[in-house]
Structure 1
């Protein structure tokens, strides 16, 4: 069974939920559009997505700031695994 990020990434159409859409866009390489969605939301979940996007980008200091805003520890594993964890958490809500 594929992971959440594989299912999300392979969808033909983006999800309706904005933060899942941001993840979908980020997993498909549209960082700018994904970042715009995450940046437009002031919530902790958006900060988590925002942190992940900055990790994907390779900007660890900026990611660290957004992890603090999300109230999450900075991730140390691969970005795909973290993207899967975020997608699963958001999908469960």
Structure 2
């Protein structure tokens, strides 16, 4: 599935971390964060980290990147979002 197909699909096709990313891609940070908070494991932590970085809360983001076992991201937010989506879709 491509990024375009991911965004064109309905929310009902996804759950967990991918659902949170879908909502963020649709411009609903609040809904994405609400979902990400309830996703356990490293995927949930990674999406949670990305969302807090997007929010501008670097300290909280750093905590969640560590929980996810990921390096703290510093680049373009859109590029990070796409990289997370691609990795999760490719599994």
- Bucket of the pairwise TM-score, normalised by the shorter protein: 0.7 to 0.9
In 2: Cα distance, 1:42 partner to 1:17 partner:
12
Structure with larger RCO (C-alpha < 8 A, sep 6+) = 1
Deviation at 1:8, TM superposition (A): 3.2
Q: Deviations over 1:16-44 (max 9, x none)?
A: 23211100111222111111111102210
Equivalent pairs counted in the alignment come to 89
Match of 1:90 in 2: 88
Deviation at 1:63, TM superposition (A): 0.5
Gaps of 5+ in 2: none
Match of 1:13 in 2: 10
Q: Deviations over 1:38-90 (max 9, x none)?
A: 11022101100000111111111110000000000001111100000100111
Distance change >3 Å, CA 8–CA 58, structure 1 → 2: farther
In 2: Cα distance, 1:41 partner to 1:86 partner:
15
